Amino acid sequence: MADSAREGIVQNDQKTLAIVPEIKFGLVTAELLEKIASVTRKYDIPIVKITSAQRIALVGIKPEDIDHVWQDLGMEVGYAVGEAIHYIQSCPGTEVCRLGQKDSLGLAGRIDEAIKDLPIPAKTKIGISGCPLSCGEGIIRDIGLFGKKATGWTISIGGNSGINARFGDTLATELDDDAAVDAVVRLLKYYKENAKPKERLYRFVPRIGIENIKEALGF
């Protein structure tokens, strides 16, 4: 039985699998929803679940159907296991939200493009918010950003929402878009160079020390 992002994640019944196709920043189209609905009916998939990563999980797939499901979907894998960027979560930002102060969706796209080829030492989640209300939940993500119209982006690192819950520490403030993207790239490179095997950022940050990280990255 498989247990990987593409081959499928084993479910409690030890007979069926779940997959999570990539849906960037929670944005979907009518065509995408129709495709998912069609595949769900064709392969009699019993559960379709919205995830905390703003994606759609297909749960209860028969092992022999996995390859056919991916082929019919024609979508990339949304990583739910392993050492990778598991997701970039974003609020609507200035695109639609009346409270939005910064373009969180636009920044999410830029960060996604900038880090897509970087090696990642452990599961990493990113949350981006277009105002201090932080609906993108960045303060409890490995890397979090929130924006203010007047002063720019604040970056926090080392947050976690699991059993070992932790608020992230502030890495930098008052960054413009270019500086925010650059900071995330440099942070991930530093993280890769100094992390223990599979060490999540919520463990890495207190071990290294936020002031040492800031000094190493020039903040």
Query: Looking at the domain assignment, is residue 131 inside a domain?
Result: yes
Which of 73, 105, 128 is a domain's end point?
73
Percentage of residues of the chain with pLDDT beyond 90: 87
Let me know whether 24 and 110 are in one domain.
no
Let me know whether 90 and 182 are in one domain.
yes
Let me know whether 37 and 96 are in one domain.
no
Let me know whether 152 and 194 are in one domain.
yes
Distance CA(174)–CA(35), nearest Å, equals 42
Let me know whether 141 and 209 are in one domain.
yes
pLDDT tens-digit profile of 22-76?
999 999 999 999 999 999 999 999 999 999 889 999 999 999 999 999 999 999 8
Let me know whether 55 and 18 are in one domain.
yes
pLDDT tens-digit profile of 95-145?
989 999 999 999 999 999 999 999 999 999 999 999 999 999 999 999 999
- pLDDT grade, residue 2 (50/70/90)? low
> Does residue 77 have a pLDDT over 90?
no
Which of 73, 94, 111 is a domain's end point?
73
Query: Looking at the domain assignment, is residue 78 inside a domain?
Result: no
**Is 102 or 82 the better-scoring residue by pLDDT?**
102
Query: Looking at the domain assignment, is residue 80 inside a domain?
Result: no
Helix axis angle, 210-217 to 201-208, nearest 10°: 90
- Check: pTM over 0.75? Answer yes or no: yes
Let me know whether 69 and 100 are in one domain.
no
CATH for 103: 3.30.413.10
> Does residue 79 have a pLDDT over 80?
no
Domain count, the chain: 2
Query: Looking at the domain assignment, is residue 93 inside a domain?
Result: yes
| Radius of gyration of the chain, Cα coordinates, nearest whole angstrom | 18
User: What is the H or E stretch that residue 123 is in?
Assistant: none
pLDDT at 174: 98
Beta strands per DSSP E along 45-194: 47-50, 56-61, 85-90, 124-129, 143-148, 152-157, 169-175
Question: What is the extent of the structural domain holding 55?
Answer: 9-73
Q: What is the mean pLDDT of residues 178-203?
A: 97
pLDDT at 4: 73
Let me know whether 57 and 141 are in one domain.
no
Q: Please state, rounded to an integer, the average pLDDT across all residues of the chain.
A: 94
Let me know whether 103 and 139 are in one domain.
yes
pLDDT at 6: 82
Let me know whether 208 and 130 are in one domain.
yes
Query: Looking at the domain assignment, is residue 13 inside a domain?
Result: yes
